[in-house]
Structure 1
Amino acid sequence: MKKQNNWSVLIGAAFLMASSAIGPGFLTQTAVFTAQLGASFGFVILLSVLLDAIAQLNIWRIIAIADKPAQDIANQVFPGLGYFISFLVFLGGMAFNIGNIAGAGLGLNVLFGVSVGQGAIMSAIVAIGIFIYKESGKAMDLFAKCMGCLKIGLALYVAYVSSPPLGEAAIRAVNPTQFSFTAVLTIVGGTVGGYITFAGAHRLLDAGISGQENLPVVNRGAISAIGLASVMRLLLFIAALGVITAGGKLDPANPASSVFKLAAGQPGYKLFGVIIWAAGISSVVGSAYTSVSFIKSFHPMILKRNREIIIAFIVVSCCIFLAIGKPVNILLAVGAINGFILPIALGVMLIAAYRLKIVGGYKQPLWLTILGIIVVGTMTWMSIGAIAQMLGH
């Protein structure tokens, strides 16, 4: 593959993963936890960036070395385990997609006054159009890049106009006064949990970027993806903090839209429409592509009909949303569920890194393995802590 084309796919994969992470749930989670924890949420973001980067580097590298999708690696570690992980990821991806379509529908409702249901159908048609196109891989990369840049640009503007207390945010990022297990679990789950961390890795695999010689490229892609998602999280946090510090009260029914409306008035509310549509539609594309990539190696017919199954996945998600209405708490809940999936998926990848039949003569750096084990332990501990917190309420 030519170097220029290689670079284009790499950036596309990074944006696909980041766009998959920056969905409507991402906007909702960031606003909710900023309201709960104030400036101390900066510490949660910092901690989650470290956990995200370690998890993603381990997973992307092992998939590239094995030159196989995650489910096939898991089946080689323990027969049947790949099917179990695929089931969890596919189910989580479907649940996320219902929320993504709801978010895209809400965006068109804010912008053009169409009903959320009509907006969802229109958005689903746009997403399907990307996969109908013959060069769908290139179209998906370009779409992910455009939507990613749009979201970051608009968030930067709202962060600027909300006049946030940057000094306090910086201090609390290293010296928090509040902490929440659920916040860390949900934020990490919403950034690299479930299907999200595999979105970019499976995209690179499909584009033929694998093997030890491509590890520097894979490393850059993994870190770039986390960097993009983290910049967006930081901008949204700063914008929400500015609004809350100024005495603004977020609407519990739609906390993310309140941030934009209180920071920049009616134009800000319209900007929210653009940003949640961009977040929703790009996450629909990333979620559908990655969820189906988890089952396509199980049967030749699935591989042959890959495009049709992705389109069916989007149609079914849209139909479920139209049947049940906007799932208000699903966006927060699914982030936490994806956080539970992460230690299982990462744990399996760490075992795979030391199986000769999977990675051949490749030696995984010891420091990366040790940090990966710490992330698995931390996420498992936080999962138990979050469940205890939920039961305590």
Structure 2
Amino acid sequence: MIMDKKEKEFVDPKMTPTRSPRSIAMGAAFLMAMAAVGPGFLTQTATFTGEMGANFGFAILLCIIVDFIVQMNVWRIIVVSGKRAQVIANEVLPGLGYVLSFLVAVGGLLFNIGNIGGAGLGLNVLFGISPENGAVIAACIAIAIFVAKNAMTVVDRTVQLLAVVKIGILIYIICVMAVPYQAAVTHTFMPTNINFYSIVTIIGGTVGGYISFSGGHRLIEGGMKGEKELKYVNEGAITGIGVASLIRILLFLAGLAVVSVGYKLDPSNPAASIFKYAAGNFGYKFFGLLLFAAGMTSTLGSTFTSISFLNYARKEKSEAKMARYNRLLVMGFIIFSTVVFYFIGEPAKILVVVGAINGFILPISLAILLIAAKKKDIIGKYHHSWFLTITGWFVVVFMLYASVEAVLNLL
């Protein structure tokens, strides 16, 4: 891949080996998709399906639409500019990148407490060990993946394998349940009850915050930059959106099948209730495997993306210096998340609340990139799609409105 010598991204050979653009794009696709459907998504979807029934399908539909608009905008603008989002933000307005880094990194850190806790709870279900000790084991696995030789390749392969596990489990659960498809379709497109808090939370928890940038920053890490890469950007974004959307729909249908027969989900672990009702203790063990997979993939995604927001390097020498500290930052991020969970716990509450917070971050971060897309000193001669621009601003306005409505309804 040919890159300008003065501005080329530094790629640590220990972190990312030489790979084809399509391979890198697929790695970014699954990193984004699996970060989007982690323990937070499981908890949020089960909780709101239990409260709203088939009407929650409308929130899932909006989530998929917003996901497409956000990811297509973010991936294209980041790769064409060849810069990470925080660097772009600083060029839009000096100092704005540091604000964005703070919002995304803190949100990612809080989410990671729930992610690592979710992986620990998964091991608790599978093997009976305490959730706290399970979280420690999950943290050690995550750190081992990041410090391995060719770490990002290992991350990509791990995430792809766990994606297959998650989809397989959900398809099995759907097959053994009586899903009310007609009610699901009807209320998804013609809801009788719209809950803005559920919309903000599910979009924020599966599209907002660090998740918006996980794919784009993975492409930059892989050395992809410039308008010539847009073919692979589009392929990766659409693949990631498709995989995440499939999992969103499958879990919603599974939850709806349970609540439609009058079964009350356990508020302390609503997602587990779905699997236990569907297939007894066997289904509960399946849930443990799903939760562990979801926790691990989201831990990898949130850690990688949050740490990438601390990197403001723009030249090879600065990139090399940052690479030397990267593994220490990764280890510190995961260890801190694990320690907080170990002594505080309650990941279910954390995941729902942080999802709502990320709902506020999404319109801010997307607006910054949409402004950047009109600045030639940032993206050069590239003309950003008018369709993506218009729909992007629509998402900004809608999410601001929905976020305010959600807060007002909670007061």
Is the shorter-chain TM-score for this pair beyond 0.5, marking a shared fold?
yes
Residue from 223, 231, 234 that aligns with 2:238: 223
Distance 1:162 1:356 in 2: 54
Hey, what does 1:370 align to over in structure 2? 390
Whether contact under 8 Å (1:295, 1:302) holds in the other structure is no
Match of 2:305 among 270, 290, 305: 290
Q: Which residue in the other structure is 1:106 paired with?
A: 121
2:330 counterpart residue number: 310
3-state SS of paired residue (1:329):
helix
Unmatched tracts of structure 2, length 5 or more? 3-17
Alpha-carbon deviation of 1:167? Answer: 1.4
* Residue aligned with 1:142, SS: helix
Alignment match, 1:359: 379
Aligned to 2:216: 201
**Cα displacement string for residues 125-169 of structure 1 (whole angstroms, at most 9, x for unaligned residues):** 000010111110110010010011111110111122121111111
1:285-340 deviation per Cα after TM superposition (whole angstroms, max 9, x unaligned): 11111000000226764443112211111011111111212333111011111110
Deviating beyond 4 angstroms after TM superposition, the runs of 4 or more aligned structure 1 residues are: 1-4, 298-301
Partner of 2:14: none
Contact 1:297 1:303 in 2 (8 A): no
Query: Retained in 1: the 8 A contact 2:117–2:131?
Result: yes
- Single out whichever of 205-214 and 79-88 deviates more from structure 2: 205-214
Runs (5+) with no aligned partner, structure 1: none
Deviation of 1:49 (Å): 0.9
CA contact (8 A) 1:93 1:194 kept: yes
* Counterparts in 2 of 1:341 and 1:217: CA distance versus 1, 3 Å: same
- Partner residue, 2:88: 73
For residue 4 of structure 1, report the CA deviation from its aligned partner.
Answer: 7.5
- The 2-side partners of 1:49 and 1:325 are apart by 30
Choose the corresponding residue for 1:261, options 272, 276, 283: 276
| TM alignment of 1:146-225, pairs within 5 A | 146-225=161-240
Query: After superposition, where does 1:340-359 map in structure 2 within 5 Å?
Result: 340-359=360-379
Query: Could you tell me which residue of structure 2 aligns to residue 232 of structure 1?
Result: 247
Q: Percentage identity across aligned positions?
A: 50
Normalising to structure 2: TM-score of the pair? Answer: 0.93
Look up the match of 1:29. Answer: 44
Show CA shifts across 1:333-366 (max 9, x none).
1111111000000000000001111011111111
Distance 2:32 2:249 in 1: 17
Instruction: Provide the TM-score with structure 1 as the length reference.
Output: 0.97
Give the paired residue count.
Answer: 391
Corresponding letter in the other structure for 2:192: T
Shift of 1:6: 2.2
- Equivalent in the alignment of 1:321: 341
- Is 316-325 or 349-358 further displaced after alignment? 316-325
Q: Are 1:127 and 2:145 matched, yes or no? A: no
- Post-superposition shift, 1:9? 1.6
